[in-house]
Amino acid sequence: MHLLIDNSNTRTKFALDKNGELSAWRAIIPTSELSPQRLTSTLADLAFTQVTLCSVVPRCAEMMEAFFKVPTHRVSHQSRLPISIDYPQPEQIGADRLANSSAAFLTYQGPVIGIDFGTAVTFDVVSGNGAYLGGVIAPGTASLRDYLHQKTALLPAITLEEPRSAIGRSTEDAMQVGAVIGYRGLIREILSALTTELNGELTVVATGGDAALISAGLPAIHHLDPDLTLRGIQAIGQQNL
């Protein structure tokens, strides 16, 4: 059994690769609560023989590399990947972006754009011949959801959901319109610019916490793939362990 770890800024997800297939088992620990003790309690009943770790939080990655006593591979630009890298400074590419791009190309072929709706929203572009070209990093939906509440005296905290109307009939409704419909505008414009620059048809796949909500109003997003990052980690681990 092969343990897969997706260590992001907000949450750390765990999954198992059983003989080349993702199992139904999942576990999530808030990244702020990650510790050897939490790892021990979360993974106590599992028997795994190797680990692939995809991390964008260096202190957590170092802690987990020291914690595991089985062969452990940490995803980076130096990993053997299902894609090549055509990027001036490959050491700057986040491990999660390499995982997303690998899974997107393996699943949908290229050219393909993977969008990950996480703490930040990232767009990653893979060419038709499987080369990572670069992408876009923009504020995530949480920044729109939380910023006004944190920086103003009267605006409330909200949970993102589909607005009932483009005209907000309450403060909460007005904030939903800005955060959801406004955010779709940001995604639409970035995709339009990328599509123009790529000069042709391409596939767009979305993953991450708010992917389903935001994608619902964007026909330019062709596929919703909740396990995209985990499948990329799985593929990279299989090539490196």
pLDDT tens-place string over residues 30-65: 999 999 999 999 999 899 999 999 999 999 999 999
Residues 61 and 138 reside in one and the same domain: no
Q: What are the structure tokens assigned to 198, written together? A: 């790529």
**pLDDT category, 183, cuts 50, 70, 90?**
very high
Q: Which of 74, 106, 129 is the last residue of a domain?
A: 74
Instruction: Please give the pLDDT value at position 200.
Output: 78
Residues 6 and 95 reside in one and the same domain: no
Tell me the per-residue pLDDT of 89-110, one tens digit each, with 9 for 90 and over: 999 999 999 999 999 999 999 8
Higher pLDDT, 224 or 217: 224
Q: How far, in Å, CA of 148 to CA of 176, rounded?
A: 12
Q: Any idea which residue has 């610019």 for tokens?
A: 193
- The residue among 30, 91, 95 whose CA lies nearest residue 230 is 95
For the chain, report the end-to-end CA distance as a whole number of angstroms: 12
Q: Three-state DSSP class for 145?
A: helix
Residues 68 and 92 reside in one and the same domain: no
Q: What are the structure tokens assigned to 41, written together? A: 């309690």
CATH code for the domain of 160: 3.30.420.40
CB-based contact 93:232 (threshold 8 Å): no
**Average pLDDT score over the chain:** 95
Q: Which of 16, 51, 74 is the last residue of a domain?
A: 74
Instruction: Please give the pLDDT value at position 145.
Output: 77
Instruction: Please give the pLDDT value at position 201.
Output: 85
Domain count, the chain: 2
Q: How far, in Å, CA of 13 to CA of 150, rounded?
A: 27
Q: How far, in Å, CA of 187 to CA of 93, rounded?
A: 21
Residues 59 and 108 reside in one and the same domain: no
Instruction: Please give the pLDDT value at position 24.
Output: 93
168, 192, 214 from 4: Cα distances, Å: 42, 34, 27
CB-based contact 239:79 (threshold 8 Å): yes
Residues 56 and 114 reside in one and the same domain: no
Mean pLDDT, residues 4-20: 95
Burial (0-12, 13-18, 19+ Cβ within 10 Å), 21: exposed
Mean pLDDT, residues 7-12: 94
* Residue 241 falls inside a structural domain: no
* Residue 29 falls inside a structural domain: yes
Kind and range of the H or E element at 73?
Answer: strand 72-74
Residues 63 and 114 reside in one and the same domain: no
Tell me the per-residue pLDDT of 139-175, one tens digit each, with 9 for 90 and over: 998 887 788 888 898 889 888 999 999 999 999 999 9
Residue from 6, 17, 45, 96 carrying the catalytic annotation: 96
* Residue 61 falls inside a structural domain: yes
Clarify whether 96 is annotated catalytic.
yes
* Domain limits for position 33: 1-74
